[in-house]
Amino acid sequence: QSVLTQPPSVSAAPGQKVTISCSGSSSDIGTNSVSWYQQLPGTAPKLLIYDNNKRPSGIPDRFSGSKSGTSATLGITGLQTGDEADYYCGTWDTSPSALVLFGGGTKLTVL
């Protein structure tokens, strides 16, 4: 069972917008920044969002991130069939070892 809670699945039609939530606690998201990863079928995860809301070079602005308190949200607008993937949030805890935490993942289906 993951420390960070994500909905198991979300779905929306092409062209629509979807949001994926990630809930944590004051000992992780509440203190540290959140990243989001996209894992297309059969491929390695890819960094989508870092530092809560920053996009690496090459990531389209259809993808956005936000954080409030102990929760974070990934938003995807203009949905495309190619966006069908598993999405993970990630952060670390406040222990001296800064242990990495991932959400359980959310399967996005573009209907």
Partner 1 sequence: QVQLQESGPGLVKPSQTLSLTCTVSGGSISSATYYWTWIRRPAGKGLEWIGRIYPSGNTNYNPSLKSRVTISLDTSKNQFSLKLSSVTAADTAVYYCARSPGFDIWGQGTMVTVSS
| Least distance between partner 1 and beta carbon 14 (Å) | 26
Would you say 39 or 53 has its CB closer to partner 1? 39
Beta-bridge mates of residue 85: 108
Name the residue among 103, 107, 61 with its Cα closest to residue 86: 107
Residues that bind partner 1 in the complex, under the rule CB under 8 A: 2, 35, 37, 39, 43-47, 50, 56, 86, 88, 90, 97-105
Yes or no: say if 90 and 103 are a contact pair by the CB < 8 Å rule.
Answer: yes
Cα-to-chain-centroid distance, residue 78: 17
| Least distance between partner 1 and beta carbon 62 (Å) | 20
Would you say 64 or 88 has its CB closer to partner 1? 88
Name the residue among 66, 71, 75 with its Cα closest to residue 28: 71
Would you say 7 or 77 has its CB closer to partner 1? 7
